[in-house]
Amino acid sequence: MNGAADDGSANGIVLNGTIGNVRPQPIIDEMRASYLDYAMSVIVARALPDARDGLKPVHRRILYAMSDMGLNPGTPYKKSARIVGEVLGKYHPHGDTA
């Protein structure tokens, strides 16, 4: 150390200014904008049925898993827990902890 005060500028941190495209913004404004963006993406991607077939992604996964298991109208029934386990284990994006 040379005895000079370390203001952080050597490692790219500037507290009282801007660096690159990073600029200070009030946290409440950022949270409001980020939450709205996330909520809209969830609504569009998961909560609204697809116009092509009228299914939500979760319903499409369930029907695909049932077809993959060979469950058709003429076959013997399986318990719903078996189908849920199949969907969670193979197709759920977060694994088996839903």
pTM score, whole prediction? 0.56
Reference 47, options 36, 55, 56; nearest CA is 56
The token pair at 81 is 């827990």
Instruction: Provide the residue-wise pLDDT of the chain in tens; the chain has 98 residues.
Output: 454 444 545 555 555 665 677 778 899 999 999 999 999 988 888 888 888 888 888 899 899 999 999 999 999 989 999 999 999 888 877 755 55
For the chain, how big is the Rg over CA atoms in Å? 25
Q: H/E element holding 83?
A: helix 80-90
Q: How far is CA 54 from the centre of its chain?
A: 21
